[in-house]
Amino acid sequence: MLPTACLSNWLGALISLGFAAPLAVGAQDLGYLALFGLAQMGLGLTCFTIGSRLIPAAETALISALETPLAPLWVWLAFGEVVAPPAMIGGLLVMIAVVGHVLLQNRANRRLGGAQASES
């Protein structure tokens, strides 16, 4: 899946290039864009793609849903941008739902693992 994820990003970049004004950003912004491309898209997507093989598809979808509520948090931490209260509340609800599901699933898995171990 990693080559597919890489190809999708390259195709997205090539398609976007047709709508962009080449080099219309300053040097500092170009550095931010390069950092975003390497860290967020490159490293983040690589780790997510490799890790998605180890967990069920439903959990992969839930974890990927965290990208939306976490994006304003990272922008606030990095650049001090103020996030509107409704966006914070919505993001918090999504995060609580995902973390709650993962914790409940882990607890259920431990119970099943303990029951299987006692049967042996």
pTM for the full model?
0.53
Q: Are residues 50 and 101 in the same domain?
A: no
Binned at pLDDT 50, 70 and 90, residue 118 comes out as very low
Q: What is the mean pLDDT of residues 34-57?
A: 82
Q: Are residues 70 and 26 in the same domain?
A: no
pLDDT at 114: 57
Q: Are residues 39 and 77 in the same domain?
A: no
State the DSSP string of the chain: -HHHHHHHHHHHHHHHHTTS-TT-S-HHHHHHHHHIIIIIIIIIHHHHHHHTTSS-HHHHHHHHTTHHHHHHHHHHHHH-PPPPHHHHHHHHHHHHHHHHHHHHHHHHHHHHHHHHHHH-
- pLDDT digit string (tens) for 1-17? 678 877 887 888 888 87
- pLDDT digit string (tens) for 65-101? 777 778 877 888 888 888 888 888 888 888 888 888 8
Range of the domain at 24: 1-54
pLDDT at 116: 53
